Chain A
Amino acid sequence: MKLLVCIKQVPDMESKFKIGTDGWYDREGLAWRMNEYDEYGVEQAVQLKEQTGADLTVLCLGPEQVKETMKKALAMGCDRGVHIADDQSHLKDPYEIASIIAEFARDKNFDLIFTGMQSQDRASAQVGVMVAELMGLPAVTTIVGFAYADGKVTVKRELEGGVKATVEVAPPVLVTCQLGLNTPRYPTLPNIMKAKKKELLSIPAADLHKASGLQETAKIEFPAKKGGGVFLEGEVSTIADRLIGILKEKTAVLA
């Protein structure tokens, strides 16, 4: 079996964001990490590799710095990395990103492709399904359960209101992973060392870039602050006293 997992590098969401000059947030001075949803994808792919002895490739499209995040995936157990080098990937729309990934994957006969359900920065929830559609593969989104047996994949899709749907599909198939699908492992030190020796191939995005974007960002801004709540800052003991004062005055819960 051949497996592919797609990961994206995203900024830590606790970062202080600044508006960039190129229609995106300013990418300087941010802490970067693996998109949370993709960690579940990597873990599931590694578990399937362990179960079946499959060969597992991790793919990431982005600038040179994404290799740091790819090394984490390699340390978690992926066999090799494919870095699609693109300094401008943040300005490409989901359709372009998906087209590039599909172009790479098209003739590689992957039996299973894992992506996250969405990226934390853009949150479009499009790239995975689009890759599958462009490749003519079935796709199942938002999975919180995964099993492979007897040549069939059985997944649980998370729906609203505490309901899950059980869906069966035969590979080749693409699944998009939701939070809580599994417990992503922490790379161990020996595995981090081993990962350094794994193959990490770089392909220029231009070689695979055949589609043009379908949308553009007209404006990016900070949302207007809503709420107008009171901020309490400073020494914790003082904050505690002030908070209790406010609760006494404004709510009935301390009565």
Chain B
Amino acid sequence: MKILLVAEYRQGKLLDNYTELLAFAGIMGAESVMFTVAEAAGALPNFDGRLYLAEVSQAGEYNPETHRQLLLDVVEMEQPEMIVLSHSSYGWDLAPRLAVALRAAQISEVVAVEDGQLVASMCNGKLRRTLKSRGKITVVTTQAGAFSPTDAATGAPTVIPVGGAASGKVKLLGYETAKPGGVDLARAEVIVSAGRGVGKPENVAMVANLAKALGGEYGASRPVVDSLWVEHNRQVGTTGHTVAPKLYIACGISGAVQHLAGMKKSEFVVAINTDRDAPIGDVADVFAVADLKQLLPILTEKLQAL
């Protein structure tokens, strides 16, 4: 089998998630070729194979219509059976465009390969599905972190330049980066995080009080931040902070993959949740099946009395 891997380039840099794509191709036992829009004179993927490269100065960093066309040209030349992208803001944007153009099935956010078949999770990780493509060619996006490279990637690609000027209808005007500031979650040894299960903004105080009693900081899941109950610099997850404290207590947090990505390296994890089946259980050392509104005040009181 031949797989076409799509490496990403953003803000002048090649992103290193291409190594996860290589790991995926390794599991599939496939021959890989690669495509990227990058700078030929810049850093290239560590990869022994053909790399189809379009110059970013011409094709643009975000120009899905142009990138789609460049990729379709490569597909024409290489006739791969699979096209694999990361399930990232670049990958989930581009993949369906390829799928439609090729009338190919897209299998999104693959978390595992079992007996050569692709597995994806559903319902916030509570269920999983094995999916089968009906066509000759399949577009795949892989979940961030699901396929970790075992060895460091090595090698130098054979670069095959491909061309095409940006001609799409969307125009990238620029980037903005969140200002760091305020708390430094990365340094806290204990983090107690508030999830949507806190119910209302006033209850965030219960979480903050427990954090204080443990000499730590409080964090939050995304919905709590989106609701403006907690400021963004306390968000844990793929679009927030990655943390690895000695103790992480998740209060009313279901354990969506994007949250887990930010905290699963914590040394010891406690979940407080009314739903015994919540996927946070996958990473929890202790799972307290309880209403946080009842448990947190008592727990805090007892800790203060120690």
Out of A134, A167, A218, A247, name the residue touching B130 (CB < 8 Å).
Answer: A218
A133 touches B239 (CB 8 A): no
Using an 8 Å CB-CB cutoff, how does the interface string of B54-78 with A read, 1 for contact, 0 for none? Answer: 0000000010110000000000000
Out of B99, B108, B277, B295, name the residue touching A123 (CB < 8 Å).
Answer: B108
**17 chain-A/chain-B pairs, Cβ below 8 angstroms:** A121-B122, A124-B109, A125-B92, A163-B10, A163-B176, A165-B62, A166-B176, A167-B170, A170-B169, A215-B105, A217-B132, A218-B132, A220-B122, A223-B128, A229-B271, A230-B287, A253-B214
In the complex with contacts A123-B108, A213-B134, A243-B288 CB distance below 8 A? yes
Out of B123, B222, B247, name the residue touching A247 (CB < 8 Å).
Answer: B247
Q: How large is the interface on B (under 10, 10 to 19, 20 to 34, 35 or more residues)?
A: 35 or more
B96 is an interface residue with CB less than 8 A from chain A: yes
B126 is an interface residue with CB less than 8 A from chain A: yes
B80 is an interface residue with CB less than 8 A from chain A: no
B284 is an interface residue with CB less than 8 A from chain A: yes
Using an 8 Å CB-CB cutoff, how does the interface string of A163-201 with B read, 1 for contact, 0 for none? Answer: 111111110010000011001000000000000000000
Docked CA distance A170–B170 (Å): 8
Out of B89, B122, B171, name the residue touching A157 (CB < 8 Å).
Answer: B89
Cβ contacts under 8 Å, A123 to chain B: 108-109, 120-122
Docked CA distance A237–B302 (Å): 9
In the complex with contacts A138-B65, A163-B176, A232-B289 CB distance below 8 A? yes
In the complex with contacts A17-B123, A214-B134, A241-B302, A93-B105 CB distance below 8 A? yes
In the complex with contacts A121-B122, A141-B89, A14-B100 CB distance below 8 A? no
Instruction: Contacts A214-B105, A243-B299 known; list 12 others, CB within 8 Å.
Output: A129-B92, A133-B101, A154-B173, A166-B174, A217-B130, A217-B132, A219-B129, A219-B130, A220-B129, A220-B130, A243-B286, A253-B216
B285 touches A250 (CB 8 A): yes
A160 touches B88 (CB 8 A): yes
Which residue of the partner chain A has the closest CB to B62? A165
Docked CA distance A133–B100 (Å): 7
Cβ contacts under 8 Å, A252 to chain B: 246
A227 touches B283 (CB 8 A): yes
In the complex with contacts A237-B298, A239-B290, A251-B247, A231-B169 CB distance below 8 A? no
Distance from A246 Cβ to chain B, minimum over Cβ atoms (Å)? 6
A253 touches B247 (CB 8 A): yes
- Number of A residues near B (Cβ < 8 Å) is 81
A108 is an interface residue with CB less than 8 A from chain B: no
Cβ contacts under 8 Å, A98 to chain B: 100
B225 is an interface residue with CB less than 8 A from chain A: yes
Q: Which residues of A contact B (CB under 8 A)?
A: 11, 13-14, 16-17, 19, 25, 93-95, 98, 117-118, 120-126, 129-130, 133-134, 138-142, 154, 156-160, 162-170, 173, 179-180, 183, 213-223, 225-227, 229-233, 236-237, 239-241, 243-244, 246-247, 250-254
Q: By CB atoms of chain A within 10 A, which of B96, B129, B134, B291 has the most?
A: B96
A232 touches B288 (CB 8 A): yes
Cβ contacts under 8 Å, A142 to chain B: 89, 92-93
Docked CA distance A247–B267 (Å): 12
Give the residues from 108 to 146 in chain B that come closer than 8 angstroms, CB to CB, to chain A: 108-109, 117, 120-135
